[in-house]
Chain A
Amino acid sequence: MKGRARTRSSRRFGDVALSLGTGLAAALVLLIVVVILGDVIYNGAPHMTLTFLTQAPRDGMTAGGIFPAIFGTVALVVLMTLAVLPAGVATAIYLSEYANPGSRLTRLVRVAVNNLAGVPSIVFGLFGLGFFVQFVGAGIDRALYGGQRVFGQPALIWAALTMAVLTLPVVIVATEEALAAVPRELRLASAALGASRLQTIARVVLPQALPGILTGAILAISRGAGEVAPILFTGVAYFLPKLPRSLHDQFMQLGYHVYVLSTQSPDVDATRPILYATVLVLLLLTFALNATAVVVRSHMRRRFAGASS
């Protein structure tokens, strides 16, 4: 070997240095998670009582609960899912089973969908405001309400649709992957028995792709529960006296509540307990959803492991 001969100790030093250095990086990452979660749990858990979860806020957010925010978050997520699941799954089915796979149009659509997943959420907020609220909403007002402002303003439906567009790529990509994982022989077997394309999809492909589709759906839902930027101007509000009763009402939401309480609270110390408890509730909700997705995914792996022929 040319140059300095590597002695055993210098070699070992290199090994130790690299392993320690990278191990330190990993340890720091763990530390970050532990500190954040620890802080939230420590400060939030004592205040997360049943009354907190079921009551409305009182006294300028220094007492009471956050039930309206929980209700609003759930309502938003449910509406979003009702919109995004059929559209996303149908699009994935169309792209992977019906469209001509080689056509440039199909490939272009796929590129567009894949890259929409990385677009900043604030851009979706722009879209939601400009298109849904001010274009579609105002149009509905002109057509059905004689110009009166009903839908042409921030509303639950527009926030839900904006979130649906945001999570659409997630559902499409997850569904397409799940569909592609179904072995081709099963489709051939079904076709050879005289099944039409729709029958093959409905009876053979979809049932087997279902766990993957569910995983994608749950991940989309969990994103929907946590994102705030897209709903900032499309429907969310800080304090509402009543729960949203119809699609054109505004709503409260957990993440937005955290944002406003942190940045605009008149008395930080007084609202601190509520703030921490709200963060804890939001975290628990998100984690519960993610954990469900992981469980569904590993259940799917077990099913496929037992299904090898």
Chain B
Amino acid sequence: MNGDANTDAAKISLSVCDLVVCYGDKRALGPVSMEIAEKHVTALIGPSGCGKSTFLRSLNRMNDLVLGCRVEGDVRLDGQPIYGPGVDPVEVRRRVGMVFQKSNPFPKTIFDNVAYGLRIGGMRDRAEIAGRVEHALGRAALWNEVKDRMGESAMGLSGGQQQRLCIARALAVEPEVLLMDEPASALDPIATAHIEELIHELARDYTVVIVTHNMQQAARVSDYTAFFYMGDMVEFASTDTIFTHPSQPRTEDYVTGRFG
């Protein structure tokens, strides 16, 4: 699995080995093996229905919530298997956060939204919660816009703001990995640009895995890219490689726009 190591190795945050996901009898994804680099952005691209979102959901065991879904294979977070016996999926999700395609803030105040993850984790000290909320909103580049209306309902924010709120909400629990499922697809171009800038910033402290159907976005934003097609991962390499000289013909067809 290692090529020549010429300089210090980047750490691996998530490693996936022979992952297979089935819905009922239908095999939706796999087998897939890859490694996700810590504190880098990895993009998953591919046409609709290729399994990239299914793959993403396997990384934080959200597939457990889908009826009839079976997951086989090995996924390790920091070397610890997340599908092992005795592993609590709730705990996994505290360390691998997720932002959804359509923003889904709770019908609570802005403050309560961001504080939610902290409170369910057992944090009680109000000062600490407030500090963490402010920090998270700052990292999500939303603090300045909402600092005077923390007590207002989150439903009053614009689409782009709501999505940044969801990002802040996910960041507040300090996950190791942040999964983003087409985070900007429901947003206008300006809001999208904000989100992309944000992803860039976030990769300094978090491992980011992002699913996107927008190839240019993947090229702008990510360090590594995996191309999925019809339930298989066809190619996984650095973004530069994928987009300039991919090794698989199908990859080349996709990134040059011949289909998709």
Direct contact of A and B (CB under 8 A): yes
B93: A residues at CB distance < 8 A: 191-194
Q: Given A193-B116, A196-B90, A307-B155, is A204 in contact with B106 using a C-beta cutoff of 8 Å?
A: yes
Considering only residues 58-77 of chain B, those with a C-beta below 8 Å from chain A are 60, 62, 65, 67
- In the bound complex, do residue A192 and residue B97 qualify as a contact, i.e. CB atoms below 8 Å apart? yes
> Does chain A have a CB within 8 A of B105?
yes
Closest B residue, CB atoms, query A200: B120
Chain A CB within 8 A of B162 CB: yes
Task: Name the distance in Å between A105's Cβ and chain B's nearest Cβ.
Answer: 16
Which residues of A lie under 8 Å from residue B173 when comparing CB positions? 193-194
Q: Specify the chain B residue showing the minimal Cβ separation from A208.
A: B107
CB pair A193–B155 under 8 Å, yes or no, is no
A203 touches which of B91, B116, B170 (Cβ 8 Å) = B116
> Quick one: CB contact mask for B110-135 with A, threshold 8 Å, 1 for yes?
00000011011100000000000000
With an 8 A cutoff between CB atoms, is B104 at the interface? yes
Q: Is A3 an interface residue (CB 8 A)?
A: no
Are A191 and B121 in touch, CB under 8 angstroms?
A: no
CB B207 to nearest CB in A, in angstroms, measures 16
Whether, in the assembled complex, B94 has its beta carbon less than 8 Å from a beta carbon of chain A, the answer is yes
Residue of A nearest to B162 (CB): A309
- How far apart are B37's CB and chain A's nearest CB, in angstroms? 22
Mark the stretch among A22-30, A60-68, A181-189 that contacts chain B: A181-189
Using known A-B contacts A185-B102, A203-B116, determine if residue A194 contacts B94 with beta carbons closer than 8 Å.
yes
Taking a contact as CB atoms under 8 Å apart, the answer to whether B62 and A191 are in contact is yes
Interface residue count on the B side (C-beta < 8 Å): 30
- Would you call A203 and B102 a contact (CB within 8 A)? no
By secondary structure, the A interface counts as helix
Is residue B40 contacting chain A, with contact meaning CB distance below 8 A? no
Q: Which of B94, B104, B117, B170 contacts A185 (CB 8 A)?
A: B104
Interface 0/1 of A178-216, CB less than 8 Å to B: 000001011011111111100100011000100000000
Most chain B beta-carbon neighbours within 10 Å: one of A101, A204, A208, A309: A309
Contacts of B97 in A (CB 8 A): 192-193
Alpha-carbon separation in the docked complex, A308 to B91 (Å) = 31
A193 to B89 alpha-carbon distance, docked (Å): 11
**Distance in angstroms between the alpha carbons of A199 and B121 in the assembled complex:** 10
In the complex, how many angstroms separate the beta carbon of B96 from the nearest chain A beta carbon? 9
| B203 within 8 A of partner (CB) | no
Could you tell me the distance between the alpha carbons of A303 and B107 in the complex, rounded to whole angstroms? 10
Q: Which of B67, B121, B155 contacts A306 (CB 8 A)?
A: B155
Measured CB to CB, the closest approach of chain A to B137, in angstroms, equals 15
Q: Is the CB of B117 within 8 A of A193?
A: yes
Q: Does A46 contact B (CB under 8 A)?
A: no
- Closest chain B residue, CB of each to CB of A194: B94
A188, A199, A306, A309: the one contacting B105 at CB < 8 Å is A309
**A188-B104, A189-B104 as given contacts; A194 in contact with B117, CB under 8 Å:** yes
**Contact flags (1/0) for A291-309 with B, using CB distance below 8 Å?**
0000000000001001111
In-complex Cβ contact of B170 among A191, A192, A199 (8 A): A192
Q: Are A203 and B120 in contact (CB under 8 A)?
A: yes
CB of B169 within 8 Å of the partner chain? yes
CA distance A199 to B88 in the complex (A): 15
The verdict on A241 contacting chain B, using a C-beta distance below 8 Å, is no
Shortest beta-carbon distance from A195 to chain B in Å? 5
Q: Is the CB of B169 within 8 A of A193?
A: yes
* Bound-state Cα–Cα, A142 to B12, Å: 71
Q: Mark out the residues of chain A between 92 and 131 whose CB falls within 8 Å of any chain B CB in the assembled complex.
A: 101-102
By CB atoms of chain B within 10 A, which of A189, A191, A192 has the most? A192
Does residue B98 face the partner (Cβ distance < 8 Å to A)?
yes
Which B residues touch A208, using CB under 8 A?
107
Given contact pairs A189-B166, A192-B60, A194-B90, a sample of 17 additional A-B residue pairs in the complex whose CB atoms are under 8 Å apart? A188-B62, A188-B104, A189-B100, A189-B105, A190-B106, A190-B116, A191-B62, A193-B93, A193-B94, A193-B120, A194-B94, A195-B120, A199-B120, A306-B155, A307-B153, A308-B155, A309-B102
Q: Which 7 A-B pairs have the closest CB atoms?
A: A194-B94, A185-B104, A192-B98, A193-B117, A194-B93, A189-B104, A195-B120
| 17 CB < 8 A contacts A-B | A185-B100, A186-B104, A186-B106, A189-B105, A190-B106, A190-B116, A192-B62, A192-B100, A192-B170, A193-B93, A195-B116, A196-B120, A203-B119, A208-B107, A307-B155, A308-B155, A309-B105
